Amino acid sequence: MDWEDASKLKVNQLHELDEFRPKAYKSSVLYKEKMKRWHYAKILKREFYVGDDVLLFNSRLKLFAEKLRSKWSVSFMISNVYPSGAIELEDHAKKKFVVNGQLLKHYYVGGPGETKVELLCCKDPE
């Protein structure tokens, strides 16, 4: 074994790693920026206005979750929107309470793909 050649080889390998590190850092920064843009593009922008109908997320801790129960409670009407993101809701009994705006989603009665079906009455042919 030649100790001098082995030590030079190790030093050269360490120098190569030092040269590779900035490139790896730059590529990881580019990857993180790309993933951040992708995640921000997937976030739904929700804007709520006074008078909108919304559903409230039921976030109570349940030890035995019921499979067929919906996570979203009955519809509420927005009575006030605060600049901090808090929203004041009003239920059908005119009770008002304030919740975080992230627990809400819009409630569409008909839905986007609603189709109207007409009822046709047919008489028996005689």
List the domain boundaries for the chain. 1-43, 53-106
Quick: pLDDT tens for 42-87: 777 788 999 989 999 887 756 666 666 667 788 899 999 999 889 9
| CATH number at 53-106 | 2.30.30
Q: Is the pLDDT of residue 29 over 70?
A: yes
Dist. CA 15–CA 4, nearest whole Å: 17
Report pLDDT for 92.
87
Find the mean pLDDT for residues 6-26. 84
Average pLDDT along the chain: 80
Query: H/E/C letters for each residue in the chain?
Result: CCHHHHHHHHHHHHHHHHHHHHHHHHHHHHHHHHHHHHHHHHCCCCCCCCCCEEEEECCCCCCCCCCCCCCEEEEEEEEEECCCCEEEEECCCCCEEEEEHHHEEECCCCCCCCCCCCCCCCCCCC
Phi, psi at 103, each rounded to 5° = -90, 5
- Percent of the chain topping pLDDT 90: 22
Q: Is the pLDDT of residue 117 over 50?
A: no
Band (90; pLDDT cuts 50, 70, 90) = very high
Phi, psi at 36, each rounded to 5° = -65, -45
Q: Which residue has the higher pLDDT, 24 or 9?
A: 9
